[in-house]
Amino acid sequence: MPQSAALSPQHFPDWTQIDDVLLDMDGTLLDRHFDNFFFEEELPRRYATLHALPFEEARDRLMTMYRSVEGELAWTDLDYWTKRVGLDVVAMHKELDHMIGFLPGAEEFLRHLRQLGKPVTIVTNAHSTGVLVKVAKTGLDRYVNRIVDAFEVGYLKMRPEYWPNCQRLLGFDPSRSLFMDDDEGCLMAAKAFGVAHLVHSAKSSSQLPPALLPQFLSIAGFAPLLNGRSPA
């Protein structure tokens, strides 16, 4: 499978022009297969059992619930979903944490950034309860300077209000920052705010094919960000 779209070396980030690295968590560093499976398969299955519903009907109900709060903080709030669906969503995350893991090459990329001396901040839409479960399983925190969840900022990353709040919180210079995410809306909001170096993670799940975006540096692996080296 190709590592990226047709990219020439001049498209690779010039690390001398980047002071701060802002990285999404799920679908960029961690395999989104866990989240897709959890919210599209496992939670509907248990919701169906709880309410004596056919699986398809249970999934349709949950998808309608998800869409009703999409773009709001509740969308990723595991405590909110525990109350709304009547199942302990946090406990289920812990039960299934064997499915949580890094995307191929992500740890090598994080080590590369450390070698370059770049401050790295995780900027995630996830709620702190979910972040804690994933950090406990992966040790992601040992690679980065800080993890900021959307609730600390007050908005999700696809909202225009997110970026000025995030900038005030972290103090980064947008013109000298790199932001990488698998979500087009989040990247578009960052672009509108003036973040200069934008990278799209096209291979968000180990179980799905890459979904390249033509308007961004869109890569299906970390090799283009490693100065031409292949991930270990």
Digit-coded pLDDT (tens) for 28-77: 999 999 999 999 999 999 999 999 999 999 999 999 999 999 999 999 99
Contacts of residues 139-145 at CB distance under 8 Å and 24 or more positions apart, as own/partner, are 140/25, 140/29, 140/30, 140/102, 143/107, 143/110, 143/111, 143/114, 144/23, 144/110, 144/120, 145/119, 145/120, 145/121
The size of the chain, in residues, is: 232
What domains does the chain contain, in order, with CATH numbers? Answer: 9-31+101-225 (3.40.50.1000), 34-98 (no CATH)
pLDDT of residue 152: 96
Of 196, 120, 166, the C-alpha closest to 216 is 196
Give whole-number Cα distances, 44 to 19, 56, 95, 106, 205, in Å. Answer: 43, 8, 16, 30, 20
Residue 95 one-letter amino acid: E
The burial of 228, by beta-carbon neighbours within 10 Å (0-12 exposed, 13-18 middle, 19 or more buried), is given as: exposed
Angle among Cα 205, 149, 74 to the nearest 5 degrees reads 85
pLDDT of residue 11: 53
Give whole-number Cα distances, 106 to 11, 24, 200, 228, in Å. Answer: 20, 12, 14, 15
Of 186, 158, 197, the C-alpha closest to 15 is 197
pLDDT of residue 6: 39
- Taking the chain (232 residues) in runs of 10, the rounded mean pLDDT of each run is 40 86 98 97 98 98 97 95 96 97 97 96 96 97 97 96 97 98 98 96 96 93 75 44
H or E segment and range at residue 122: strand 120-124
pLDDT of residue 231: 43
pLDDT of residue 226: 87
Q: Residue 182: how many CB atoms within 10 A of its CB?
A: 24
